[in-house]
Amino acid sequence: MKFLDNPPRFLFFTGKGGVGKTSIACATAMELAAEGLRVLLVSTDPASNLAQVFGIGIGNQITAVPEVAHLSALEIDPQAAAQAYRERIVGPVRGLLPEAVVKGIEEQLSGACTTEIAAFDEFTALLTDTALTAEFDHIVFDTAPTGHTIRMLQLPGAWSGFLESGKGDASCLGPLAGLEKQRTQYKAAVDALSDATKTRLVLVARAQTATLNEAARTHLELSEIGLTRQFLVVNAVFPGTETLGDPLAEAIFRREQGVLASLAPALRELHLDLIEVKPFNLVGIEALRHLLTRATLTQAPALLTPLLGDADQINGKQADNAALRQGSLSLTDALEGHRLSQLIDQIALDGHGLVMLMGKGGVGKTTLAAAVAVELAARGLAVHLSTSDPAGHLMETLHGTLEHLTVSRIDPHQVTEDYRAQVLASKGAKLDAAGRAVLEEDLRSPCTEEIAVFQAFSKVIREADKKFVVMDTAPTGHTLLLLDATGAYHRDIARQLGKGAHFSTPLLQLQDPRQTKVLIVTLAETTPVLEAANLQAELRRAGIEPWAWVINSSLAAAQVRAPLLLQRARTELPEINAVTTLHASRYALIPLLKDEPIGVDRLLKLVANLPSNPASP
């Protein structure tokens, strides 16, 4: 693997959600540790799943991985980091200032922006604190999905610039002194990220147009801030030797090869590695040891569940087949009466409302959001389709227009500029030159973006009392931060108005099942299902009850005959059972299709579950 040749001290793995960043980062860390090097593996994803991968508790402290010599791991926990950050700010004044003043400071520090900066303090410490990391030869970063990662990597420069000018009151973060202390640390982080002898950034993608387009954009954006030493890894490529006359397998192979042949010029300049799709789930240490090697159906037998003897069994044609039955579920039961079109029938009855699609990156939220919106619009209902994903690809997925459908994107850069202009025109109009200069400086704080995105999100979802608003959300971790901002705003309004006051906030709208339907999207794979279950628990803690689950791109729900696809389909069955019997009160199961569901016609076929190829049921 080219990206492992002479690796520097810091390696970053980033890319669109669901491309395999965590698996490749873990396998890389294990590979380096196997050479006797001391390695620290760090997750900066708010929805980290390192613990599931290794099967041990990790959390917000450096933890040795018992079964891998020389390897330790750390999950930066945004909430724990935020609590420690708040205590550093509030602790010294508690008991010295009036209680009301202390509570006011704590309230200022309760939002998503504080959470982001607190977690970021821990991240920059790993780049700069030699005492903290002296015992490690390499630090491998498994980052959040691309949009959040770009934000994270841009922050050292953004905060350094903000502190250099240093005149803002940084009201969303509390006392400016809390940031001043980090000035040297942020400057050192900028230097480390920009030094190709210290840092290597690995872009991870799949052989899919959307993920490679995002990799190209990421390459250019990160090059602009000095991260020029980049490598490209295309993960889970289907091998031509495994098609074996299976129409779906042949279609996957042809599609992926066509995408690879048309790589963007910016990506052609990078060192490229291809990793073939594996016939087993990449969970557990033994599986990860085989990720960076070529493991076929005849290799690593301990990782493979027994292949079913007949393709008809995996395709659900024998309703009483014990091999397909997990608990009370057979695949035939799972498919019957659980199509996406039936969920939309129920949604359409309301005539209007908010429909939010949430889940791990890479599970198909954008595609399904577009499919739901297109189907509702095709029924003559007014629909506003929007995305809060910093790396949203709605227009690429729609690839066309439809009557009754409007489309928007909450662009963080644009809404931030609009918000700054709005504040300067209102609050700034009443200030003198000196006061306006201070306000302008404060608005250059990176925290302004959090406020602007939240306001834009609130504005979009308010339309749901008149029409359908279908929201394609960012990957799980970033969505939880947005919900955190929603909760902070709600608490602030409640505190200001006092007990007994009647008011409406976005959080109340999300909590009302008459106004909002949350669809959790997952794949029939271990990690996406675990993350979706954790997301559901977080939503319930916020008083939001998910309405339905959607299991997307299932091989078990498609007609497959190639041994590699049969084995992959077999591994899905326990996950389908977990969703349908443990997690979801209602659900839809969508098969993997030969053609990517891009464009209005294919999106409508996806909803209706009409076969676009002989391989679909």
Token digits of residue 222: 């990160």
94 by DSSP, 3-state: which?
strand
Tallying the residues shown for the chain, one arrives at: 617
Angle among Cα 591, 409, 475 to the nearest 5 degrees reads 50
d(CA 177, CA 115): 17
d(CA 17, CA 237): 16
Q: Where are the alpha helices (DSSP H) in 225-289?
A: 247-261, 265-268, 285-289
Token digits of residue 421: 């202009």
Angle among Cα 248, 252, 254 to the nearest 5 degrees reads 115
Q: Are 508 and 490 in contact (CB under 8 A)?
A: yes
What residues contact residue 614 under an 8 Å CB cut-off, 6+ apart?
A: 247, 559
Q: Are 615 and 560 in contact (CB under 8 A)?
A: yes
Q: Are 20 and 282 in contact (CB under 8 A)?
A: yes
Q: Which of 341, 373, 338, 339 is nearest to 354 (CA)?
A: 373
Known catalytic residues? 18, 20-23, 45, 527
What residues contact residue 368 under an 8 Å CB cut-off, 6+ apart?
A: 340, 357, 519, 521, 550, 552, 590
d(CA 389, CA 364): 13
Query: Which amino acid belongs to residue 505?
Result: T
What residues contact residue 443 under an 8 Å CB cut-off, 6+ apart?
A: 168, 420, 423, 424
- Strand ranges (E), 103-238: 138-142, 199-206, 230-237
Burial (Cβ within 10 Å: 0-12, 13-18, ≥19) of residue 425? exposed
What residues contact residue 18 under an 8 Å CB cut-off, 6+ apart?
A: 206, 360, 361, 362, 363, 523, 528
Residue in the block written with tokens 């005539």: 351
One DSSP character per residue, 599-612 reads SHHHHHHHHHT--S
What residues contact residue 485 under an 8 Å CB cut-off, 6+ apart?
A: 111, 112, 113, 450, 453, 454
Helices (H) and strands (E) in the chain, counts: 26, 15
